[in-house]
Structure 1
Amino acid sequence: MSKSMGSSQFSKPVARLLVLVLVQFLFLSNVCLGARKLTSLYQPPTMALTYHGGALLQGDLPVSILWYGNFSPAQKSIIADFLLSLNHKDQKTAKPSVTQWWNSVQTYMKKAGQKPTNVSLSTQLSDHNCSLGKTLKKSQITELARRANFGRGWLTLVLTAPDVAVEGFCMRNCGFHDSNRKSNSVFIWVGNSATQCPGKCAWPFHQPIYGPQTPPLVAPNADVGVDGMVVNIATLLAGTVTNPFANGFYLGSTEAPLEAASACTGVYGKGAYPGYAGELLVDANSGASYNAVGVNGWKYLLPALFDPYTSQCETIV
């Protein structure tokens, strides 16, 4: 008599083994499914730049420049045009414009219930002979800023030439901003890194010192040092206006805060990731990459800004 094809064809030990294997499979499946479900439900905490209630640089903001060392007329024009373009209202200016970028900074003023910041270019001084020498301490930058500061509430921009070494330059930073609360004045220092550390302070116009070795972009004004300076000036200007006295908008500690632009370091266009600046505009004639145009036709690469409403790095291209 033939046997049926049911479970009775297996011996009891084999049947118990099959049941054990089936139970283990279901258990492991549940563990894996549970882990996958928990992972999909996890949302990383949203990064937010908190307003700490301090004064911001609202209203009219005259900017004076101290050129320390040798800068050519063209180099001065590139940087001066950037500053002149921040609050320019001429509708004929090519888009995307520097003004559009600056309008993103103004969202911080609106969020804090303060007036928009209207930057104007004021006095420019030149110290061609480097009166304090070509190796400067950080305290000497403060002294230079004091020399070029002509009024309360002004912003002073101290810019050092490629052959001027500054304490901490390249090792710790490419520039910094600081303030004097007694005189209600603020200043920014940025160095020209063309010969000292272009791989750090002029990226993405030079091969990076570390990380993915992607080909460098062509600098929009054919000057790696100065085009890199504009990136750093823009980054620090956004941070200075929104966090001038270390109690404005920032994330983290007051000693090393993330500010409006520094919270988006390395991001210039959509789709950016480490080693890739993002999707940018490219000049058909020079092959240079840029994302903003000034009032006199100079092109710039400006950093993304952290949007205080969406908590995202926003670009203008």
Structure 2
Amino acid sequence: MQKNRWIELLLLCICLLRFASMAAAAAAALGRSGELGEEKNFEGSSDLVDLQYHMGPVLASPVNVYIIWYGRWNQNQQATIRDFIYSLSAPPSSASYPSVADWWRTVRLYTDQTGSNITGNFVLSGEFYDYKYSHGGYLSRLDIQSVIKNSVAASNPHALPLNPHDGLYLVLTSADVRVQDFCRAVCGFHYFTFPTIVGVTVPYAWVGYSGTQCPGMCAYPFAWPKYSGSTNGGHGIMKPPNGDVGAEGMISVIAHELAEVSSNPLVNAWYAGDDPTAPTEIADLCLGVYGSGAGGGYVGAVSKDAWGSGYNLNGAKGRKYLVQWVWNPVSRRCYGPNALD
């Protein structure tokens, strides 16, 4: 038991160091120094990005996604997010090019040591509604794992299955829930559960609703950061294609975390840098890049509908989404299917 506790503490320290690195990357990408014009990205090809494979597993088998809705949500927000998850594996006939599934094909280029590609098969296999706030209105990072534990508890009549084989747990917190470092340093994160808390090791991700707490940080470009000097309705503001700034911001963060948890689920697979406690992952390399020519606070060339809503991907059921690009390991550049070259 004592050995397990030491292991848990070691993993927690690694987790905290990793989050610190992610915070630094996010701050740089959003121009935390005070000028959006100082944003850096790798939209063009680059030989300076040292992305390497470290022999760990990727999510190569079909994935069963389990959503945990923590707090209170409205049905429109939930439908927007559900449809995005469905769109990842939707048949080509369900959405025109460029589609969400087309975007995921770049993520699928990553393989494990056997040559198996990341899966293209995501199934929304269960949802748990934690509307009673089982762990209160403020959650630490470690509390997220306890939220997962509660959702799979046998004593709960609507419990999710505990699936260590091909399960992925997605914890989504509502507008009134505060999460450690949310808005200050992170919009979401991914990791793996500790057996001493959940009972097994299983990948998971957390994303918070940013519509009221920090839309300028986590729902950009549908809102501007306060330090930018711009306001909602100012030059460059896009309208959200599905009508909810916070939910639209979540979509891109969910996509970011799904790409990274699939390519680096145990933090020992695909990442750049020599320090495994602070990896720079395949979506971290493309923060703020949504289209060709992105940089300096400009999201790149994306489409707009008749109402001025910005998007770069078509989803199933007629929806549209704005999702950041990810690093393409073949062309060695940030890439999305809406690229102009």
The answer on whether the counterparts of 1:235 and 1:303 sit within 8 Å (CA) in structure 2 is yes
Matched, 1:152 2:177: no
Query: How far apart are residue 240 of structure 1 and its match?
Result: 0.2
Structure 1 position 208 matched with structure 2 position 225: yes
> Aligned to 1:193, which of 192, 198, 210?
210
Deviations along 1:225-275, whole A, 9 cap, x unmatched? 000000100001000000010101001233332211111000000111121
Counterpart check, 1:270 vs 2:272: no
2-structure distance, mates of 1:288, 1:207: 15
Matched, 1:134 2:106: no
* Partner deviation per Cα, 1:175-213 (whole Å, 9 max, x = no partner): 110103753411100000111111111111101244584
Deviates more, 1:226-235 or 1:216-225: 216-225
Q: Is the counterpart of residue 172 in structure 1 residue 174 in structure 2?
A: no
Look at both structures and tell me which one has the larger radius of gyration over its CA atoms. 1
Q: Is the 8 A contact 2:325 2:334 kept in 1?
A: yes
| 1:280 pairs with one of 302, 318, 321 | 302
Provide the residue aligned with 1:260 in structure 2.
282
For 2:128, the equivalent position in structure 1 comes to 125
The 1-side partners of 2:135 and 2:79 are apart by 25
How many angstroms apart in 2 are the aligned matches of 1:192 and 1:59?
A: 29
Local SS of the residue matching 1:107: coil
- Superimposed CA distance per residue, residues 124-171 of structure 1 (whole angstroms, 9 cap, x where no aligned partner): 011112121111111111111233352113100000001100111111
1:242 to 263, 268, 285: 263
Query: Which segment is superposed worse, 128-137 or 225-234?
Result: 128-137
- The answer to whether the aligner puts 1:219 opposite 2:240 as a matched pair is yes
Shift of 1:91: 2.2
Please report how far the alpha carbon of residue 53 of structure 1 lies from its aligned counterpart in structure 2 after TM superposition. 0.5
8 Å contact kept, 1:145–1:156: yes
Report how many aligned residue pairs link the two structures.
274
Q: Offset at 1:295?
A: 1.1
Question: In the alignment, which residue of structure 2 is the partner of 1:50?
Answer: 52
Does residue 69 of structure 2 align to residue 67 of structure 1?
yes
Q: Kindly state the Cα deviation for residue 74 of structure 1 after the two structures are TM-superposed.
A: 1.0
State the alpha-carbon separation in 2 of the partners of residues 112 and 197 from structure 1: 42
User: TM-score of the superposition, structure 1-length normalised?
Assistant: 0.82
* 1:291 is the counterpart of 2:315: no
Gaps (5+ residues) in structure 1?
A: 1-42
Which stretches of structure 1, 4 residues or more, deviate above 6 A after TM superposition?
none
Distance between the aligned counterparts of 1:196 and 1:63, measured in 2?
A: 26
Instruction: Give the match for residue 33 of structure 1.
Output: none
Q: 2:169 is matched by which residue type in structure 1?
A: T
Structure 1 CA distance for aligned equivalents of residues 46 and 91 of structure 2: 40
**3-state SS of 1:78 partner:** helix
- Indicate the residue corresponding to 1:25 in structure 2: none
Shift in alpha-carbon separation, 1:293–1:148, aligned structure 2, 3 A: farther
Question: Root-mean-square deviation (CA), in Å?
Answer: 2.0
Deviation at 1:60, TM superposition (A): 1.1
In 2, Cα distance between equivalents of 1:108 and 1:82:
21
The match for 1:300 is: 321
Contact 2:65–2:125 at 8 Å: present in 1 too? yes
State the distance in 1 between where 2:89 and 2:46 align. 37
In 1, Cα distance between the equivalents of 2:309 and 2:286?
A: 22
- Equivalent residues of 1:267, 1:273 under 8 A apart: yes
Aligned partner of 1:109 in structure 2 is 111
Summarize the Cα distance change of 1:212–1:312 in structure 2 as closer, same or farther, 3 Å threshold: farther
% identical aligned pairs: 38
Output one character per residue of 1:60-83: Cα deviation in whole Å (capped at 9) or x when no partner. 110000001111111111101111
Contact (CA 8 Å) 1:46, 1:311: kept in 2 or not?
Answer: no
Q: Deviations over 1:56-107 (max 9, x none)?
A: 1111110000001111111111101111111112324222111001111100
Q: Which amino acid aligns with 1:315?
A: G
C-alpha contact 1:212 1:275 (8 A) present in aligned 2: no
